[in-house]
Amino acid sequence: MGEPGRPRRPLHFGPDAMEAHGGTLPDPAETAAAAHAAAHAAAQTVVEAGRGGASPETTARLVRLVEDVGIDTLAQLWADRPARSLPGALWRVYVLRAWIQRGPEVAAREYAAGMAVAQVNHAIAGVVDPPGADEVRDLSDRILGGIFDGDLAVALERAAAFCRVVATGRASLDDGDVTAAAAMVGTAEDLEASARLWRAGSLD
Cα torsion for 68, 188, 50, 127, to the nearest 10°? Answer: 90
At residue 24, the 3 state secondary structure works out as coil
- Residue 1's pLDDT is what? 56
Strands (E), the chain: none
| pLDDT at position 157 over 90 | yes
User: How close are the terminal C-alpha atoms of the chain, in Å?
Assistant: 24
Please calculate the CA angle 128-61-136 and round it to the nearest 5 degrees.
20
Please state whether the peptide bond connecting residue 130 to the residue before it is cis, i.e. omega within 30 degrees of 0.
Answer: yes
- Residue 27's pLDDT is what? 62
- Residue 40's pLDDT is what? 85
The mean pLDDT value of the chain amounts to 84
What pLDDT band is residue 56 in, cutting at 50, 70 and 90? confident
- Residue 31's pLDDT is what? 67
How far apart are the C-alpha atoms of 12 and 170, rounded to whole Å? 42
The pLDDT tens digits of the residues spanning 90-140 come to 999 999 999 999 999 999 999 999 998 999 999 999 888 888 999 999 999
Span of 22-36, 58-72, 112-126 with lowest mean pLDDT: 22-36
- Residue 110's pLDDT is what? 95
Q: What is the DSSP string of 114-169?
A: HHTTSHHHHHHHT--SS--HHHHHHHHHHHHHHHHHS-HHHHHHHHHHHHHHHHHH
